[in-house]
Amino acid sequence: MKPYHVDDVLITPRQLSQRVDELAHEMAAGIHSDNLVVIGILRGSFIFLADLVRWCSMNDVHPRIDFMIMESYGSGTKPFQEPQVSRDCSIDVTDADVVVVDDILDTGRTLKKAVAHLKAKGARTVRTCVLLDKPARRIVPCQADYCGFTIPDEFVVGYGLDYDGRYRELPHIAKVTFIEPTS
């Protein structure tokens, strides 16, 4: 693995908290359903989703909550295969209004696959909500209904996002800087 460091803070905890509060407001104003289900894509969405649904409850939105595991990344920063649902959600989503929550919209493959999967399971509507969007990396056309921050083409960690399984616990979003060997 290339040497790297994780120092530069891209988004502070305060900015994250303010924006997640705004997103919950946007969702509460735009979604009126008596059968709302929020599904987080693990593992990257766990902190974002936990904060988002607490702000939702303050807007009197009380969804059922579940998770599904989708995997596509190897140990580096590049996807190595098409994303697969490796653990499905267990809530019945038939006729539900679903919001899929993910940490970051990168190539678009994961979210597109997740939406198709939930529609195939009988969801009435499927909306998407991502904390971060890296439009420069898009391969599959895909746009989130709710998006926290648009960021440049940098590899980032923290607030649920990992590099090789680490740094998910950071309270901010930080940039990973890869150190090119000098010779």
Helical H segments across the chain, by residue range: 13-30, 46-58, 109-120
For residue 103, state whether it binds ligand IMP (rule: CB under 6 A): yes
How many residues interact with Mg ion (rule CB under 5 A)? 1
Place of tokens 């530069």: 8
Is 38 in a helix, a strand, or coil?
Answer: strand
Among the residue ranges 17-25, 49-57, 106-114, 119-127, the one whose residues contact ligand IMP (CB under 6 A): 106-114
Per CB under 5 A, contacts with Mg ion among 99-158 are: none
- Which of 16, 24, 37, 44 forms a contact with Mg ion (CB under 5 A)? 44
User: Is 7:153 a contact under the CB 8 Å cutoff?
Assistant: no
AA letter at 102: D
Among the residue ranges 22-30, 51-59, 97-105, 118-126, the one whose residues contact ligand IMP (CB under 6 A): 97-105
SS3 content of the chain, % helix, strand, coil (to 5): 25, 40, 35
Q: Does the annotation mark 95 as catalytic?
A: no
For residue 48, state whether it binds ligand IMP (rule: CB under 6 A): no
Answer positive or negative: Cα dihedral of 107, 134, 15, 158. Answer: positive
Residues annotated as catalytic are 106
Summarize as ranges the residues that interact with ligand IMP (CB under 6 A): 41, 44, 72-73, 79, 83, 102-110, 155-157, 161-162
